[in-house]
Amino acid sequence: MLGNKEPMPLPLIEITSVTGIYDYQAKYTPGMSDHIIPPRLPEEIQEQIKELAVKAYLAVGCQGLGRVDFIIAGETIYALEINTLPGMTNTSLFPDAARYMGIEFPDLVDRLVKLALEK
């Protein structure tokens, strides 16, 4: 999520790990996981998740940026958590999602500073 009062959901990301387990090593070691954008989900499910993410983000009063994590089991969508300080490293999800939308890292940082200054 990117924004304050009218946040914009960034693209969804599916995470796969070369070991089959998304652990510390898979998360922080380049090449140990893949970020699939867009995820291999039907478009209607992706839209439903984006709507849920916006509602969760606004419900808890998030501003600036946040990552709302979900898992799908069968046909049920579960919200896991809201990460209000998502990573910004080379292996992080948030910058990957922004980049997919054409927002390169320097522009992302600029947007985040401007969002912070709105307060």
Q: How many domains does the chain have?
A: 1
Q: Which domain holds residue 53?
A: 2-13+40-117
Q: pLDDT of 67-97, one tens digit each?
A: 999 999 998 999 999 999 999 998 899 999 9
Q: What is the DSSP letter of 8?
A: B
Q: Is residue 33 part of a domain?
A: no
The CATH number of the domain where 107 resides is what?
3.30.470.20
Chain-centroid distance of CA 73 in Å reads: 19
Instruction: Label residue 119 by pLDDT band (50, 70, 90).
Output: confident
**Percent share of the chain, pLDDT over 90:** 95
Q: Is residue 110 part of a domain?
A: yes
Residue 103 vs residues 20, 59, 65, 97: alpha-carbon distances, Å: 30, 26, 14, 9
Q: Does pLDDT of 101 surpass 90?
A: yes
| Contact (Cβ atoms closer than 8 angstroms) between residue 78 and residue 104 | no
Q: Which two tokens stand for residue 65?
A: 């940026």
Say what the pLDDT of residue 90 is.
86
Instruction: Label residue 51 by pLDDT band (50, 70, 90).
Output: very high
Candidates 48, 38, 36; CA nearest to 75 is 48
Q: Is residue 30 part of a domain?
A: no
The 10 Å CB-count burial string (b at 16+, else e) for 57-66 is bbeeebbbbb
